[in-house]
Every structure is written in C-alpha cells, then in structure tokens.
Chains A and B, each alone.
Chain A
C-alpha cells in the first residue's frame, strides 16, 4: 500500500509549488532560470487558491472533476480541501499526512515510506528554495520565459517512476495556473489553479 499511497504525493508537490510563488515576483528583465524561481519561494507566510482538478482514468469514459481550496501556512503546513464531489480534507504538516473523509481520519507518518520520502524531500526543497535538492530528485527542465513558462519534472528514482512519469507545472508571470501529472499507466491529472488575491 505504501507504493500506492505515494500516488497522492505529486499533488502535494504541486500544491507546494503553487503557493510558494509570490504574486509580485518575476518582474522586469531579470534572467529567468530555476534558481531564480526557487529563490522567490521562501518569502511567503501564507496563501490560498481555488482549484479545479480533472482526473483522467483509463477505464472511465470521461474525466472525474473535483473542486476545492488549497491553503499554505509557513513553514510547512499544506492543506488541500476538496469541496466537490465529496468533502475531503488532506493536510500535510511537517512529517504527518492526515486525510479526513466521511468522518474518518487517517494519519500516516510520511517518512515511514521511502518512496514517499523522496517526494517529501522534493516538497521540502521547494518550500526552502533548495534548487540542488530538487534537482537531485528530479530531472528538471524549464521552458519559456517569465511571461509564460513550463517546468517539467521527471523523477530520477525508478521506484518513483513506478508511480509518476512526470509533473508539468506551467505559469504565466509569477502565477502558477496549471499542474499536470502523468502517472505510470498514462492516466493524468490536470489541476487548474486560481490564486486568491493577497
């Protein structure tokens, strides 16, 4: 099951990215690279955004749609609150992942699972703006410019590849508007994000 639980991790990573990008960042003609992107991550105290997530599963005729809110509180608390189609609350706080749905709470210690560990390290790298650490876990590829960019992440560890093939994060200016995750079997998740005004 540990391996399977890993499947939710790309999402968390995406959340981490979303909320770490300052709205007012990336102005002017400063050279645009990963280091700069990451350098801006460590400045936000809290943020929230709306999301619409489309999940394409190979045995379903159409996508499953979920809607909700993402909330980040410094230094390491991330919350994904799903409102539709069914209420669910997922919180990653430090080392602990808690999922609440249908009146049941499941808690799991993230570092208990080595594969998850790597994902978490990726999240931590993002939260702390640690480019080197992120690049140790993922092969990174940043395309475009400050007005329209896409960051492609590919896990280096085969154990992680067995869960997630790639993660693509795109943004325009300083705002992330979309995170696409491709799973090992070709199923994908497409999350669109609208950040709340800060």
Chain B
C-alpha cells in the first residue's frame, strides 16, 4: 500500500480511536428538560425551574391497589410508618394516618405562634368590651356540638385565634378517607403523598430512592396479613424521570438492534457478501462515533435521545456505501465509480447538513444536539465512503446481484411517468385536507412535548384527581431581593385577594405569608396585645356577668405574655412540620432572588384580578394564568420551529439553485420534495389530528434527506448504461432510510416517534414523487451533460 493510500486510512483509524477515547469520558444524560426549551420570560423560567427542581418535583404520588379495603388501609399505615422512619431519604409522608401525628405537629406550631400568625389579631380585639363579646360567643360555642372541641383551647385562647388558623387550613379539600387513611373515592386505592429529599431530576439518586420505596413496600406487605396481592403504583416527576430514562434506554437499544438487523438483512440479501455487509457499516459506525464525540465536546454531555437518533444515522449513512457498492459495475473499480457519483453525494450531504443546521439554532438543547450529531455523523460517513472505503474494497469487486432487480425497477420508473395524474390527484387531495383542516394544526398542550409516556400521564392524572389535588391554574408571583420583602409583598397581595374574595372573584388562596408572616407583621400583631397587667385588668372587666370562674383565663394571660417575648416564627421552625413542604412550594429562593407564589382557588374572573394586581400590587408582581403561559410558551417554541424549518428549507432550495443553475432542474428537484411534504403533512393531520413540533422538525428533515434521492434522480439519464444500477442503489438506500426512521417511529418517546414517522413517510414519498415527476423529462441531453 502506498503512503498516499495509507494516509486516509491512518487518519481514519486515529479519528476512530480519538472518538472512542472522548466517548469513554462522556457524561450521558437522560434529563428530559433538554427537550423543554429554555423559556423566554423570567416568570416562565421560575415556573419551569419549579417543575424541574422545586418542591413539586420532589413529590411522589403513591397508590396501593388490588387488596381488600381493610388490608389496603393496614398496608398504607404500615408502609407510612416504615417510610417515616427513613428520615434521611424522605421528608413529609402523608397518607391521612392521624396516628402519625402530622396534624398534631402542625397544630402545636399554630398554637405556639397563634398571636403572630392570626390575621385577626388587632388592638381592637383585646379591649375589655371586645373580650366580653368574645366570651359570650365562647359560651354559645361551648353549648354547641363543637363544645368538646372548643373547651380544650378556650382557657388559653378565648378570642379563638387557633380556630381562625385551622379553619383557614380546612378550606382545602381533603382526599377521601377510609379506615383512617386516604383512599380514592371509589375505595379501590389507598393513597400516599411522599416528599423525597432528592430533586426529581437527579435520576441516579431518584433510582436509589425508588428502590428503597419498593423494598419498604415489600417489607410492609409481609408484615400485613391479606396484602400479598397488593400492587404499588407510583407517579410524580421523579418517577417520570426514571421511567423515561429506562424507556429511552430500552427503546434505543431495542430499536437500534432492530434497525441494524433489518438493514443488515437487506444488504446481505442484495450483496450476498458478509464482507460487503461489514464494509457498509464502516461509514455508519465511524459517523456515529464521531457524532457522539462531537456532541460530547460541544455540549459537555450527550443526551440519551441523541443516541436514539443514531438509529436514523444507520439508515442514512449506509446510503453512501450503498451508492458506492451498487453503482460499481462488476469488473470495474470503486475508484472509477466515485468520480461519477461524487458530485451528487456532495450536493446531497450539503443539503442534509443545511437541514440539520437549522436544528443547531434551536433553543431546545436536545434538538441542537441532534443537529450537531447528524451533521458530524453524515460528514464523517461520506468522507469515510469517499476516501477510506475504496481502499478496503477488493479490486474487481462487483455487485452483480444488485442489478437483478434493476430492469424491473427501470420499467417501474418508466411506468411511473404515467402516474403523474395520480400524483396530481393525491396532491390536490392533500391540499384540500390541509385547507379544510378543522381547528388548529398544532398540538396546543404543553404535554404534547412531554417525554412522559401517555400511560404515566394518565396514572398521574388519576391519582391527582383521587387526592383531590386541584390543578393550579392561576398564580400571583412576586419577587424581591430578600425573604422579608417577598413575604411583605405576599401580605399586600393577600390583603388585595381578601377584597377580591369579598367581591366573589375567587373563593380562596394559598399564600406563603399565611404560614410565615413577615417579621414586621408578626411584630405588629404582637404589639397589638396588651401587656400582662393591662390584659389581666381588662379580662377581669370582661368576665363580669359571665358564668366563667375568675381564674379560668389565667393560661390566656400567661400565653399572651409569652408570645410577646418569644422570638418571631422563622422558616427553620416551620421546616420541621408538614407545613414545611407547603411553604417550600410557595416561597422560593433562586440566585439571591426570593419569589413568593400565591395560588388562587375557585377563580371566577381572572382578568380584573390581574389588572388590579398590576395597578396596585407590589412592584415585581406578575399575575400568571398557567394555561395561557404554557400555551404561549408552546407558541414561542412552535414559532421558532416554523421559522427554523422555513429558513432551513430556503437554504436548501438556495443551495440546490446554486448547484443546478437552471430553474427547470431546480423545479425537478424541489417539486417532488414539496409534494412529499404536503402529502405527509396531510396524512399526519388527516382526521383532525394535530402536528407536534417534532412532526415539524420531521418535515424539515424530510426535505434534508429526501432531497438526496431527488438529486440523484434528477441527474440521471435513464438511457445511460448505469441507470439501472443507480436506480437500484436509490431504492436500496431509501429502503434503509425508511428502516432507520421507520424503526424510530416505534419509540415510545414522542420526540423520537414523531420525527421517525414523519421522515419515514416523507422520504418514501419523495422518492416516489421524484420518480413520477422526473421520468417524464427523459431523455434530455442538457441534464446528461450537467451530471459530470
């Protein structure tokens, strides 16, 4: 082997080794937020952050089913007891089990800080007259059915602050309950809410926690009679992350295996040579390795989805080897074939690169990775085909077998020209479908982007409904440089909301300042309490003409004195109670900015609330309608995707125009592509279906990949002696592409599934349309002369 021949091979080997080294150092990620785009507004950013790592992301919803009701209840209690013992992994565990004393801890906190917490604490409430009225009211309460309840707290709390606080909590709907623990309304599932200490996105830790939950469940199951058949159902962001990762892993290894086997089978059938088969995969493997290494270098990590996309590279990069092998006639050398097909290969790869480059500019990290991966993969694959593969092929190699089908195919192409009317008809039909499509073309739900499998989403919805967890839609968000200011803002907003509630605009709200008032507000309330001696004198006056014994309210006087001297309630104190998790979700510190979230319930009209909050609320407050926000978020992504697809397509057309330099020839390449895109879009949206952003990206890739076939078809003179081989290679290449993308359409992850289906459909339509439209133009000397 001469030095000139050895050089490309040495370079290639060095590259492969370098790529392998980089890949062994690579961090692989399954964080699905890479496919949730970086959001434009700060409000949306906080929302997305909350979804990813906030208190909500640490929440697991657990259901136990498939046993008798008493067994499920016992199992829930035992399971809860065991989970509570593991304080290192779990925060709050809620299953309605009052024996767990969660409520007691909360009540104790309220009791201890009732004068700092209660919004009804004002100076007017503690005058002798007001106290006398309070005592009269207490007597009525005592003789009521609530007497037993009031009696316990009355001596320490004649003004009923604890009742005010607890009633505030009780306005929230509780889950249904049976045998002392939470159940679904139909009594078939016992329910638990578990707060883990790991944020949902930390998949490795989340998996350990999940394993612990399962082991704990198994142990609890053994300890409870009649619970052997019981099943554990889990949902929540952490579970989604783990499931998605596992599904992704399964999908990718299964699909790449299937695609490889199918492509290998086709190649083996065609070439009847294991050696050729191995060689055909050389560009593919080199491209895949280079692609992964490039993404690793460019992004610092490689997303699992990007690997999944490697499946398509199998179908696509193998094309280049196919063109080379199939178009090399028996007895001739691959070196002779290359100059003939190289211009087309070059243009094809350039066009593909243009299509994939549009993805590079996507704000979805995931898409950008897919773009870089595919570009690098294709460039390396074509380079290996061009400069390495010929050296590995034996001289005199020929693929006699591949030509067997060729005459048949040529006949088909000749016949295809007679099908122009059919294509026109189908195209017209497609345009009609698109024009008369009812409603939106686009999926307008953010969950359509969600990688979470539909079955998981459904379970999540069911359990949320079971737990009577209301869907939060309306929020007020107020940000401040420090915690106290954020709480003060929350208080101002709460006061506004109270007036709105009076006007019937909403039925209630949850504000962080309800659980943790600002220190200033706490102090104002405590200052409203009279000093001990003064209070004693007023109480004595208030007690006149009442049946209460004189010393009954000594605890009250002592507690007020204590409240005035004890340090203010702070976050640490709350953290230890079940209120901690609620506060975590409502008061968030992020990068030195404190944000208070107020979630609104029973909103009848949000517009006036939003406008008046904007007018008179504290600065830095945003009124958020989550549905509108998530829709506008989606709208932004969609606009970006449409823009990228348009720019990508225009660049492709421009590139083709530059290379072909004839309007007629450009039309011959572009027309089949346009037809393929329109028909694919029509098929996808037929029957009122909507397109996802992933479908849109798929359409762009259809143009990028399908154009390769159109280029080859356009350049071919059908009377040429090489025509049958060229046609055979195109059909084979297209089959492999369809296998690659088609296999992907069986993925459970929407991103892979949607792209795979769209491209598989689109590329086959491209080839068929190209055959139909081009054949009509043969023969043409103009085209023939331009092909070399």
Q: Point out the residues of chain A lying under 8 angstroms from B179, CB to CB.
A: 111, 114, 117
Most chain A beta-carbon neighbours within 10 Å: one of B139, B155, B180, B552: B180
- The proximity string for B residues 83-108 relative to A, scoring 1 for CB distances below 8 Å and 0 otherwise, is 00000000000001111000100010
Q: Which of B99, B103, B139 touches A64 (beta carbons < 8 Å)?
A: B139
Q: Does A44 contact B (CB under 8 A)?
A: no
- CB contacts between A and B, total, < 8 Å: 92
Q: Does B643 contact A (CB under 8 A)?
A: no
Are the CB atoms of A82 and B547 closer together than 8 Å? no
Q: Which of A4, A55, A61, A109 touches B142 (beta carbons < 8 Å)?
A: A55
Closest to B143 in A: A64
Bound form: Cα–Cα A151–B148 in Å: 23
**A117 and B148 in contact, given A59-B552, A62-B547 (Cβ under 8 angstroms):** no
Closest to A80 in B: B145
Q: Does A60 contact B (CB under 8 A)?
A: yes
Closest to A53 in B: B143
- The proximity string for A residues 61-104 relative to B, scoring 1 for CB distances below 8 Å and 0 otherwise, is 11011100000000000001010011010100000000101000
Are the CB atoms of B96 and A112 closer together than 8 Å? yes
User: A59 to chain B: closest CB distance in Å?
Assistant: 4
- The proximity string for A residues 98-133 relative to B, scoring 1 for CB distances below 8 Å and 0 otherwise, is 010100001001011111010000000000000000
Bound form: Cα–Cα A9–B170 in Å: 20
Are the CB atoms of B547 and A60 closer together than 8 Å? yes
In the complex, chain B residues 135-178 whose Cβ is within 8 Å of any chain A Cβ: 139-140, 142-149, 151-152, 154-155, 166, 170, 174, 176-178
Are the CB atoms of A86 and B148 closer together than 8 Å? no
Chain B residue total in the interface (Cβ 8 A): 32
Q: Which of A1, A80, A82, A86 touches B103 (beta carbons < 8 Å)?
A: A1
User: B86 to chain A: closest CB distance in Å?
Assistant: 23
User: A13 to chain B: closest CB distance in Å?
Assistant: 13
Q: Point out the residues of chain A lying under 8 angstroms from B180, CB to CB.
A: 111-114, 117
**A59 and B549 in contact, given A7-B147, A88-B145, A183-B148 (Cβ under 8 angstroms):** yes
Q: Point out the residues of chain B lying under 8 angstroms from A88, CB to CB.
A: 144-145
Bound form: Cα–Cα A113–B180 in Å: 5
Bound form: Cα–Cα A111–B175 in Å: 12
Bound form: Cα–Cα A86–B96 in Å: 33
Q: Point out the residues of chain B lying under 8 angstroms from A2, CB to CB.
A: 98, 103
Q: Point out the residues of chain A lying under 8 angstroms from B549, CB to CB.
A: 59-61
Closest to B155 in A: A59
Q: Point out the residues of chain B lying under 8 angstroms from A61, CB to CB.
A: 547-549
Q: Which of A6, A66, A113, A187 touches B143 (beta carbons < 8 Å)?
A: A66
Bound form: Cα–Cα A1–B151 in Å: 12
Most chain B beta-carbon neighbours within 10 Å: one of A57, A80, A183: A57
Bound form: Cα–Cα A141–B608 in Å: 65
User: A71 to chain B: closest CB distance in Å?
Assistant: 15
Are the CB atoms of B176 and A99 closer together than 8 Å? no
Q: Does A25 contact B (CB under 8 A)?
A: no
- The proximity string for B residues 545-565 relative to A, scoring 1 for CB distances below 8 Å and 0 otherwise, is 001110010000000000000
Bound form: Cα–Cα A11–B143 in Å: 13
**A99 and B548 in contact, given A64-B139, A111-B179 (Cβ under 8 angstroms):** no
Most chain B beta-carbon neighbours within 10 Å: one of A59, A80, A109: A59
Q: Which of A60, A82, A109, A183 touches B174 (beta carbons < 8 Å)?
A: A109
Q: Does A8 contact B (CB under 8 A)?
A: yes
Closest to B99 in A: A114
**A7 and B149 in contact, given A1-B103, A60-B549, A113-B180 (Cβ under 8 angstroms):** yes
Q: Does A5 contact B (CB under 8 A)?
A: yes
Are the CB atoms of B143 and A8 closer together than 8 Å? no
Interface CB pairs A-B, < 8 A, 11: A3-B98, A7-B151, A55-B143, A61-B547, A62-B547, A111-B179, A112-B174, A112-B177, A117-B179, A183-B148, A187-B151
Q: Which residues of A contact B (CB under 8 A)?
A: 1-8, 11, 55, 57, 59-62, 64-66, 80, 82, 85-86, 88, 90, 99, 101, 106, 109, 111-115, 117, 163, 183, 187
The list of the 7 closest CB pairs from A to B, nearest first, reads: A7-B148, A112-B177, A114-B180, A59-B552, A64-B143, A4-B149, A61-B547
| Additional pairs, 17, CB under 8 Å, beyond known A8-B147, A57-B151, A85-B139 | A1-B103, A2-B98, A2-B103, A7-B147, A7-B149, A61-B548, A64-B142, A64-B147, A82-B144, A86-B140, A88-B144, A99-B145, A111-B177, A112-B98, A113-B180, A117-B179, A163-B148
